[in-house]
Amino acid sequence: MTASSASRIDAPHRTPRRPQAWSLALLASQAAVAALWWRYGATVGLPAMLATHAPFWWGTLWPHSRVFGPVLNRLTTDERLVWLTIDDGPSDDTSAILDALDAHGAKATFFLVGARATARPDLVREIARRGHGVGNHSSTHPAKWFWALGPVRMRREIADTQRILSEILGAPPHWFRAVVGMSNPFVNAVLKSHGLARVAWSARGFDGVAGDPARAVARIERDLSPGAIVLLHEGATHGGNVETIRLLLQRLDGLGYRAVVPSPKKD
């Protein structure tokens, strides 16, 4: 029996409802700022302008922010269940990670980069064949500039990967993971048109940049609790991702946690 068949859990699948609401808020707030500036000058107008810009920066740079739309940060359960999410594949690590997951009866969701999926479609099919989930993690993974992408490029990043993964797997993903966790005002309109819901995380070990598996797992363990969403990576140049996942799976077994993939539930 696998972990996922032993314990089922739903995840609220919330697609953005009003992805353009931010533009009305921006227009209204900047009209108010202009009026204040005109009436009282820069001593009032400038602080007012900075204050009205703050929510936009917060919504863009803070991965758990709901300023621009819904984001799932954790699951609701009293059971010792966690959702492992593995970003940035497929990669040279994917096969070893699949074997490690099988060895522990664990399931995970792989948030894949479209261009990498195009290059290695067999790995994508293997992920699905072994009962894991597949999510959308952009098509080119523009880590430095994702937060600053305009509406046309943002749509291409997300839509291309929906198409690529649909062609390989026969069905499009339900979940989207933002690149380096950032959002921006243009993400949610694309998510809405593709029926995608955004997933963040509640525990991470910085294993994308930190190559020491023991330290990465210790960081994750600090934030483990029932329903945690764990952020993991594959294919990092430091070469420590597979070992981090192996070590984490051992710790999860020791602590009595099961790694399961939740079913998307519309609400």
User: Contact positions toward Zn ion, by CB under 5 A?
Assistant: 87-88
Minimum distance from CB of 233 to Zn ion (Å)?
A: 7
Tokens of 121: 């479609």
**Active-site choice (132, 141, 174, 233):** 233
* Shortest distance (Å) from residue 245 CB to Zn ion: 15
Peptide bond into 173 cis (omega under 30): no
Tell me how far the alpha carbon of residue 261 is from its chain's centroid. Answer: 14
Residue among 87, 88, 93, 207 flagged as catalytic: 87
233 is catalytic: yes
Closer residue to Zn ion (CB): 68 or 110: 110
Long-range residue pairs from 164-172, CB within 8 A, at least 24 positions apart, any chain: 164/114, 164/117, 164/118, 164/139, 165/112, 165/114, 165/117, 165/124, 165/134, 165/136, 168/117, 168/121, 168/124, 168/125, 169/124, 169/125, 169/128, 169/134
Q: Active site includes 212?
A: no
Question: Nearer to Zn ion by C-beta: 176 or 257?
Answer: 176
**Tokens for 151?**
């509406």
Q: How far is the CB of 267 from Zn ion (least distance, A)?
A: 27
Residue, CB closest to Zn ion? 87
Cβ proximity to Zn ion, 59 vs 208, nearer residue: 208
> Whose Cβ is closer to Zn ion: residue 88's or residue 243's?
88
**Least distance CB 174 / Zn ion (angstroms):** 18
Active site residues: 87, 233
